[in-house]
Amino acid sequence: MKLLNFGMLIAFIVISLMFAWLAFSTGGVDFNVYYAAARVTLAGGNPYDYGQLTAEIISVSEINNPYYYAPWFTWAVLPFGLLPFPVARGFWWIINVLLWFLGLFNLGRLIPWPEIGWKRWIAYTFVTILFAWTTWGFDQVGILIFFLLTIALVAVEQKKPVATGVCLALLLFKPNITIIPVTAILAWLIVRKTWKPIVVTVITTVGMLAVSLIITPDWYLSLFQIDKLTGLFYKFGTSSSPGVARYNTTLLDWLAAYNISGMTAIILYILVILLCLAFLARSIRRSNSIIPMTAVALLVNFAIAPYTLSYDYPALAITLFHANDLSITRPSLKYGRMALNLLVMAGLFVGDTISYRYWIVITIAALMAFRYYVSRVKRPDGTRE
């Protein structure tokens, strides 16, 4: 057994590094924007002003997108702007690989599934292929969000209000992905009258915004430039004019992929929003632990977010692990759970655009529903599964 455990650990590391290198060598989309934002800021400019940003972007890449992230993310990437672009991207890749492994380590502290050994290394390999590979390939920040979120959750469980509040504030650097889970965590803390992390979150966020206005006054006015809205729906070319339409991974994009649009799609979207928020409110009130509530919050977030892509999904590893973290004795239920996990992975291979990867959210939701059902199934001795 020790040999099997060690062998699967080595296999997990090797496979992860292979996928990471494949993503680095064949991918590369968004780091050029972070790099350009750092260069503009180092020169005393405003990275949110597309006119200042675009010249830096097209000097290193043909991918030309606006910059949306909060100022404290810009501060974090400033050191990359001091390096040549290929070297900076290499360091970005190394950091993201390390953050993924550290995030999985934190996840193991939060959710004891599966037990340490070959099963856990298989599970880690599973989520690496499912989530991390895409994020590495797009040079995106989903792994950073996953890492910060695991730190925040560990800090909540260890009753460390300063670490909790700082991490929650930092997570707001990409609010379209983090506003729902961060708000849900704060609401969960409010219901339990745990005020210190909330105060730290507010003070940290306000403080960082104040500093950003000192460094770059009126930077926020550039957020109202037309490129910010256009960039959500179209990719820009080197001429800075809108090019091909952008595919997103949202409910509306998924419906459109199956030719469901117009008022029908909007009604379905509203119904899903109401249903998801009701489940989230229930979870905030009733969850005794932060982990089940966060698992629901993340699922709700990616189910109803108006703008997200599948490279933002790494944090869903928390939901996936929680959905599987239940002891099952009946073989039929074990096979059912295994089948649902395979369907989650199958979401990577459905359709010809990134919009179809919303199937990952749907199948994880089915897995969560399965967990809820199994937890109420009684064993022959009268106890629950």
Give the C-alpha separation, 366 to 52, whole Å. 46
Ordered by start, the domain boundaries in the chain are: 2-374
Least Cα distance to 108 among 197, 12, 172 occurs for 12
Q: Compute CA 361 distance to the chain's CA centroid, rounded to the nearest angstrom.
A: 12
Could you tell me the two tokens for 325? 């973290």
Q: Which residue has the tokens 């957020």?
A: 223
Please give the Cα distance from 354 to 363 (Å, whole number).
16
The closest alpha carbon to 56, from 26, 88, 27, belongs to: 88
pLDDT digit string, tens, across residues 305-352? 999 999 999 999 999 999 999 988 889 999 999 999 999 999 999 998
136: Cα within 13 Å, side-chain hemisphere: 29
Mean pLDDT, the chain, rounded, equals: 92
CA 341 to chain centre: 19
pLDDT in tens, 214-247: 988 888 888 887 776 776 666 665 555 555 667 8
Residue 53 Cα distances to 45, 66, 79, 166, 169, angstroms: 9, 8, 17, 29, 26
Q: Is 294 exposed, middle or buried (0-12, 13-18, 19+ CB in 10 A)?
A: buried
Residue 6: count other Cβ atoms within 10 Å of its Cβ: 13
| pLDDT in the model for residue 188 | 98
pLDDT in tens, 125-163: 999 999 999 999 999 999 999 999 999 999 999 999 999
Q: What is the pLDDT of residue 197?
A: 98
Sign, Cα dihedral of 243, 244, 250, 251: positive
pLDDT of 114 reads 93
Asked whether 213 and 71 are in contact (CB, 8 A), the reply is no
324 in Cβ contact with 130 (< 8 Å): no
**Residue for token pair 């992230």:** 69
The tally of CA atoms less than 13 A away on the side-chain side of residue 263 is 0
Q: Which amino acid is at 278?
A: A
Q: Given this model, what pLDDT does residue 245 score?
A: 67
**What band does 258 get if pLDDT is binned at 50, 70 and 90?**
very high
* 165-172: average pLDDT: 98
pLDDT at residue 157, rounded to an integer:
96
Q: Is the pLDDT of residue 384 over 80?
A: no
**Helix axes 175-191 and 142-157, enclosed angle (nearest 10):** 10
Predicted confidence (pLDDT) per residue in 179-216, tens digit: 999 999 999 999 999 999 999 999 999 999 999 999 88
| Gap between the Cα atoms of 221 and 293, Å rounded | 36
Decide if pLDDT at 64 tops 80.
no
Q: Where are the alpha helices (DSSP H) in the chain?
A: 2-26, 31-42, 50-58, 71-77, 85-110, 118-127, 133-137, 142-157, 161-171, 175-191, 196-215, 226-230, 251-257, 262-286, 290-304, 316-324, 331-346, 358-374
Average pLDDT over residues 285-310: 96
* Sign of the dihedral through C-alpha 170, 324, 134, 293: negative
pLDDT given at position 222: 82
Instruction: Give residue 184's pLDDT.
Output: 98
What is residue 383's predicted lDDT score, i.e. its pLDDT? 59
Residue 385 pLDDT exceeds 80: no
Give me the pLDDT at residue 232, please.
Answer: 67
Q: Which amino acid is at 355?
A: S
Asked if residue 295 lies in contact with residue 284, where contact means CB atoms within 8 angstroms, the answer is: no
